[in-house]
Amino acid sequence: MDLFKKCDTYVDGFLNNVKESGLYPYFHTLTSGQDTEVIMEGKDTIMIGSNNYLGLTSHPEVIEAGIEALKKYGTGCSGSRFLNGTLDIHVELEKELAEFLHKEAVVTFSTGFQSNLGIISAIAGRNDYIVCDKENHASIYDACRLSYAKMLRYNHSDMEDLERQLSSIGEEHGILIVTDGVFSMSGEICKLPEIVKLAKKYGARVMVDDAHGLGVLGEHGRGTAEHFGLEDEVDIYMGTFSKSLASLGGYMAASKKVVDYVRHNSRPFIFSASITPASVACARKSLEILKRAPERVKALADISEYMRNNLRKRGVKIIESTTPIIPIYTYDDDKAFLACKLLLERGVYVNPVISPATPVGQALLRTSYTATHTHEQMDRAADAIVEVLKIIGVM
C-alpha cells in the first residue's frame, strides 16, 4: 500500500468536507500583534483564545528588550547549548528563573513541547515507570514514547486509580508521577496535595508541567506548587516561556544534580539549537516584570472571575475552575466549528476543542483570558457568546 494513501484519505475526506462547509476553524491569520484585541483576517477581534495570560506580548519593555538583544547578539545562536550555542543571557535567565522558583537550578529548552520531550526521555529509563494523568498534555505522552520507561495512565484526577497504578509497581523500579499543574483544556488544577502524599507513600518522584500555572497561580505567580504551599515537595517543574512570559522556549527546574544530568543526557536538548537571543531577552524581561508587579497575577484572576460570573448569570454552562481557562460546552463537534465561525463574524475569537481531544459528545469552546482585558471587552464577548449559543441550539 502507498505510504501516502492516508494523506489522500484524510484530505479528500474530512478536511475538504469541513473546508467546503465553510466551518474550517484553523490557521486564521493575524495582521497585528497578540493582544486583548487583534486584527484577524482584516477585522478587529476580541482575543479570548490565546495564552498571553499576563498581557506582556505587547509590553514596551519586553519589546525593547528583544530589540536590544537582536542588536547585540544577532538573530540566532547557530548551534546547540551543549557546544557553541550558550550565551551569557541563557545562563542569566536560568539563574533568575531558579531563584524565582526556589529551585537549585534550571535548564532551558528551545520550545515548551521540547522541554517535556527532553526532561522525561532523559530521566525515565528502561527500569522505570512513568505514571501519567490521562488528560496530560500531548507533549508528555510523546515524551513517554521517546523514553524507554513503561507508562501507566490513571483516570483524570482520580487518586484511587493513581494509587492502584502505583501499588502495582515493584520496589525495584524508579517511578515518576507526571501531571499537568493546570490542565490546558479544562482549566482544572491538579490534586497536587494528594499526588505528593501518594508519591511519598510509594517512593515516587513528582513532575508538574506548569505551562499554564506559571504567572497564573500562587501569590507571586510561581505556579501550582506555590498555590498549594508545596514548593519543596515537587521534584521537577516544567514550564514554558510562550504563555505568561511572552516569548518562546521552555525550562526544567529541579535540584542541581538532576539538572546537570539532563544537560548531559537529554537528546532533544543536546541536538537542538539554543533559544534565540531575542526570545531569551523577552523572557527575562517578562520574568522581571512578573517579579516586580505580582498584581498582574491578581488582575488575571479578577478578570477571569468577572467573565465566569458574566457567563454564569447569563445561563451559560461552563467547566468550573479558578483559572483563566473557561471552557464552554457545545457538545457536538460540528456545533463547535459553527460557533467559532459565528463568533469570529461577531468579532470574538475562541478555540474549538473536539474529539478525540475531548470525549465524543463533549465538544467545547476553550476560552482564555488576559490580565489586561477590560470589563467592556468581556461584556461584548459574553453578549456574542450567548447570541451564538442560542443560534446553535445549546441554550
Exactly one of 110, 139, 147, 184 is catalytic; name it.
Answer: 184
Where do runs of H (alpha helix) occur along the chain?
Answer: 5-10, 16-20, 60-73, 88-101, 112-123, 138-146, 159-167, 192-202, 224-228, 256-265, 267-270, 277-292, 295-313, 333-345, 375-391
Give the span between the Cα atoms of 207 and 162, in whole angstroms. 14
Q: Which listed residue (243, 285, 335, 373) is catalytic? A: 243
User: Residue 359: what pLDDT?
Assistant: 82
How sure is the predictor about 360, in pLDDT bands with cuts at 50, 70 and 90? confident
Report the predicted TM-score, pTM, of the whole model to 2 decimal places: 0.95
Query: Do 111 and 248 meet the contact criterion of CB atoms below 8 Å apart?
Result: yes
Question: Closest Cα partner for 225 from 103, 322, 134, 131?
Answer: 103
Structure confidence at residue 299 (pLDDT): 98
- Residue that wins the pLDDT comparison between 88 and 319: 88
Residue 358: the pLDDT is 83
Q: Is 243 a catalytic residue?
A: yes
Q: Is the dihedral of CA 382, 383, 389, 395 positive or negative?
A: positive
Q: What pLDDT, on a 0 to 100 scale, did the predictor assign at position 395? A: 83
Q: What is the 3-state secondary structure (H, E, C) of 164-218?
A: HHHHCCCCCCEEEEEEECECCCCCCECCHHHHHHHHHHHCCEEEEECCCCCCCCC
Question: How much is the pLDDT for 356?
Answer: 83
Mean pLDDT of all residues in 136-158: 96
pLDDT tens digits along 217-271: 999 999 999 999 999 999 999 999 999 999 999 999 999 999 999 999 999 999 9
| Nearest to 214, CA basis, from 294, 131, 104, 121 | 294
Span 268-307, pLDDT tens digits = 999 999 999 999 999 999 999 999 999 999 999 999 999 9
**What's the burial of 369, exposed, middle or buried (CB within 10 Å: 0-12/13-18/19+)?**
buried
Summarize the confidence of residues 327-346 as an average pLDDT. Answer: 95
Confidence at residue 357, expressed as pLDDT on a 0 to 100 scale:
81
Contact 229, 91 (CB under 8 A): no
Flag whether pLDDT at 8 surpasses 90.
Answer: yes
**Active-site residue among 212, 227, 285, 373?**
212
Across the range 357-368, mean pLDDT stands at 91
Query: Cell 527546574 belongs to which residue?
Result: 253
Which amino acid makes up residue 80?
Answer: S
pLDDT in tens, 190-205: 999 999 999 999 999 9
- pLDDT at position 335 is 95
Q: What is the mean pLDDT of residues 134-148?
A: 95
User: At a CB cut-off of 8 Å and minimum separation 6, what does 208 contact?
Assistant: 179, 180, 181, 190, 192, 223, 224, 225, 234, 236, 237, 238
Can you list the domains of the chain with their CATH numbers?
A: 22-53+294-391 (3.90.1150.10), 60-292 (3.40.640.10)
Distance CA 30, CA 38 (A): 7
**pLDDT for the residue 316:** 95
- In angstroms, the CA 168 to CA 177 distance is 14
CB burial of 142-151 (b: ≥16 within 10 Å; e: otherwise) equals: ebbebbebeb
Rounded Cα–Cα distance for residues 175 and 203 (Å): 7
Average pLDDT, the chain: 96
| % of the chain at pLDDT higher than 70 | 100
Give the residue-averaged pLDDT of 117-137: 97
pLDDT at 355 over 90: no
Determine the average pLDDT of the residues in 20-26.
92
Helix (H) or strand (E) holding 325: strand 325-331
